[in-house]
Amino acid sequence: MRKILISACLLGKKVRYDGGALSVDDQIVEQWRSEGRIVSVCPEVEAGMSIPRPPAEIFKGSGKGVLNGEVDVIENDGGKVTNEFLAGASIALNLCRKFDIDIAVLAEFSPSCGSTAIYDGSFSGKKVPGMGVTAALLREHGVHVFSQYEIAQANTALLATSS
Ligand code: SF4
């Protein structure tokens, strides 16, 4: 049974920077759950970051730039957390390798998990096209990353490759 990686906060786990959770009320996710397909991960918490923690954004760049050492992830008080974000991304990638996962559903807009858009690093709520660090690393290694707004597409991809 092919598995799928999902952001822990999307499964209702209170792991977000503010101690909250997101949730996806979707029958497809429930189906995945009942089939035992779901592997959950919060890259930031897995990397040792606390709950709650200061909000962080990628400063003038995206996850790809972080992977290339071109830009940093900073907290709103100016603290640099680039290494923690890189460590979290590696943990997520290792989970994909361990469970032979090539499909992920990650939480949009996060500096770790965002897959099409993220905040711009100004902490003003402005979003820009781009990926978080985990999404960028997973894609670099062939994982198909979807957001919580693309569950149906993720399911189509999953069933197309299911064994
Ligand atoms: Fe953790 Fe990703 Fe959810 Fe942020 S978006 S809380 S890093 S799982």
- Per-residue pLDDT tens listing for the chain (163 residues): 899 999 999 999 999 999 999 988 899 999 999 999 999 999 999 999 999 999 999 998 999 999 999 999 999 999 999 999 999 999 999 999 999 999 999 999 999 999 999 999 999 999 999 999 999 999 999 999 999 999 999 999 999 965 5
Ligand 1: which atom is nearest the Cα of residue 43?
7
Q: What is the pLDDT of residue 162?
A: 59
Ligand 1 mutation target, pool 5, 7, 73, 75, most atoms within 8 A of CB: 7
Ligand 1 mutation target, pool 4, 17, 112, most atoms within 8 A of CB: 112
Q: What is the pLDDT of residue 161?
A: 67
Q: What is the pLDDT of residue 103?
A: 98
Q: In angstroms, what is the span from residue 10 Cα to ligand 1's centroid?
A: 8
Cβ atoms < 10 Å from Cβ of 152: 11
Q: Is the CB of 64 under 6 A from ligand 1?
A: no
The boundaries of the domain holding residue 127 are: 4-161
Q: Label the pairing between strands 4-7 and 38-41.
A: parallel
Q: What is the pLDDT of residue 163?
A: 55
Neighbouring-strand partners of residue 68:
none
The DSSP 8-state label assigned to residue 10 in this structure reads G
* Total tally of structural domains belonging to the chain: 1
Rg (CA), the chain: 15
ipTM of the complex: 0.99
Ligand 1: which atom is nearest the Cα of residue 15?
6
Q: Label the pairing between strands 4-7 and 103-106.
A: parallel
Q: Using CA atoms, how far apart are residues 159 and 25, in angstroms rounded to an integer?
A: 20
DSSP string, 22-48: -B---HHHHHHHHTT-EEEE-HHHHTT
